[in-house]
Structure 1
Amino acid sequence: MIFGKIDYINLLPFYIFLKRELKNSSDRAVLEHKKGVPSKINKDFKKGKIDAAFISSIFSKNRKCTNLGIVAKKEILSVIVCPGKEKEDIESNTSNILAKILEIKGEILIGDKALKRYKEGKDCVDLAYEWYKRYKLPFVFARLCYKKNTKLYKNIEKKFLNSHIKIPNYILKRYAIRSGLTQKEILHYLSLISYEIDKKASISLKKFIRLSKKRLKW
């Protein structure tokens, strides 16, 4: 299994779970060596360089996917638009299109760097919250998709959604140092995220893909 890894805080619980599930060291090594930002992971998945990954929602249409995803219940804090010159985030696909749909202009930031910028209080706009205010729906940023072996990934989906993942303190400390956030802020951020694409999230995903249809580049 070659799994694409996006090393953002929002997927930390899943990768802790996945490492626990992988039974041998070679599988774990593959997981660690196939890293990238969302836009890079999307390309690697399309080219068949990886077997599975959390890929951008906008890129997941008509692909084999589970009901695991990165779902903002309301706000998300890590997908924002800040005042200044209009600029897309090269690490993102979904977030850039979301900003256009919501007609919010400025500098788009995603991931851990966005969390730090949001913390600084620069009057940035949370895109997930703007989506929620407009449609009263959660927003799905990514989905766990795969090339083959449906049974394996459905089993991962079931096990993860039924697991309570406790993040070890030493890992929280490492990510706190790296991100510039406190451990408490990291845990608060993770509490804003759901990993299950339920009925409401599914409706939201379909709406987003429909609204973005004219902006697709693949």
Structure 2
Amino acid sequence: MRFGKIEYLNLLPFDVFVKKYPTSSGFKKFLQLKKSYPSKLNGDFLRKRIDAGFISSIAAYFPTRLHHITKAGIIARGAVWSVIAIPQESGEDYQSASSNALAKVLHIKGRILIGDRALRYKLNDGVYQDLGQEWWKKYHLGFTFGRLCYNAHRDFYEKLASNFIRKRIKIPRYILIQNALRTEISPHDIKAYLTHIHYNITKKEEIALQRFYTALRLNHIKKPSRFKFQKNTLR
């Protein structure tokens, strides 16, 4: 079972959860080996180089709807802190897919920055627009930046996702300190940030995703080039 891991703080609760979850040693070994940023994992998933992972929401839209999706996702119901646009600058974030597209449908100008780099920028009092907050202002719905998808081992991943969204995760102090050293973000700020992240995709989030996909069509936003793959890749 090949799971692709996004090593951002927004999935720290999942990392803590899966360490204690009953899985094979091979699963956990691959989890540590296959680490990358969201847009890279999108391509790996669509080409079936990995069996599952938290995949950008836009990858479930281009070029077809992925059938193997779970109710676990990376969600902001308002300000997200880690997906931002920096005014007076320009450029997309190569690590992102959904966030670049979200900025376009919201007609937000500026350089897109995601993940721990965006969080550090925000915490250092940088001037920015929070894309999660801007989506909330427009629709009063949470935005799902990614969701746990799979293309094999259905029973295992459905059960994994279901258990994860039901469980309240407490992050040990030592793990907070380890991640603070890795990201240069204090344990206090990590804990504050995680209060903005949710993981259970409800009916409201599903409605929000449909509005996002509709906006993609209306704004003629095409498939990112890094999603190109052979037509017979998906089954």
Structure 1 length as normaliser, TM-score?
0.96
- Alpha-carbon distance between aligned partners in 2 of 1:47 and 1:157, rounded to the nearest angstrom: 22
1:59-74 equivalent positions in 2, closer than 5 A: 59-61=59-61, 62-63=65-66, 64-74=68-78
Give the CA RMSD over aligned residues: 1.2
Q: CA deviation at 1:192?
A: 0.8
**For the residues of structure 1 that align with 2:23 and 2:210, how far apart are their CA atoms?**
36
| Partner residue in 1 for 2:111 | 107
Counterpart amino acid of residue 92 in structure 2 = E
Q: Tell which deviates more after alignment, 153-162 or 105-114.
A: 153-162
1:123 CA displacement: 1.5
Alignment-derived partner of residue 31 in structure 1: 31
- SS at structure 1 position matched to 2:30: helix
Match of 2:201 in 1: 197
Deviations 1:186-218 (A, max 9, x none): 111111111001011110011101111321315
1:146 Cα deviation after fit: 0.3
Contact 2:3–2:27 (CA under 8 A) maintained in structure 1: no
Cα distance in 2 for partners of 1:161, 1:67 equals 8
Matches within 5 A, 1:115-126: 115-126=119-130
2-structure distance, mates of 1:216, 1:53: 23
Counterpart position of 1:209: 213
What does 1:110-189 correspond to in 2, within 5 Å?
110-189=114-193
- Mapped contact 1:89–1:108 kept (Cα < 8 A): yes
Which has the higher mean CA deviation after the structures are superposed, 73-82 or 174-183? 174-183
Judge conservation of contact 1:5–1:35 (CA < 8 Å) in 2: yes
Q: Distance in 2 between matches of 1:216 and 1:48?
A: 22
* Alignment correspondent of 1:40: 40
Asked whether the 8 Å contact 2:55–2:147 carries over to 1, the reply is yes
Post-superposition Cα deviations, 1:69-128, rounded to whole Å, max 9, x if no partner, equal: 001011100000012321100000000011111111111100000000011122100000
Q: Secondary structure at the match of 1:84?
A: coil
Measure the CA separation in 1 of the matches of 2:101 and 2:165. Answer: 28
Aligned residues between the structures: 218
Q: State the one-letter code of the partner of 1:21.
A: Y
Percent of pairs with identical residues: 43
CA contact (8 A) 1:137 1:204 kept: yes
Unmatched runs of 5 consecutive residues or more in structure 2: 228-235
Structure 1 counterpart SS, 2:50: coil
User: Which consecutive residues of structure 1, in runs of 5 or more, have no partner in the other structure?
Assistant: none
Moved beyond 4 Å, runs of 4+: none
Normalising by structure 2, what TM-score?
A: 0.89
Matched, 1:88 2:92: yes
What's the secondary structure of 2:73's corresponding residue?
strand
For residue 151 of structure 1, report the CA deviation from its aligned partner.
1.7
SS at match of 1:212: helix
CA distance in 2, matches of 1:23, 1:142: 23
Any idea what the Cα deviations from partners look like across 1:53-81, whole Å, max 9, x if unmatched? 10000111311100100010111000000
C-alpha distance in 2, partners of 1:21/1:49? 23
Q: In structure 1, what residue type is equivalent to 2:132? A: A
Tell me if the contact between 1:22 and 1:28 (Cα under 8 Å) persists in the aligned partners.
no
Change (3 A) 1:40 1:108: same
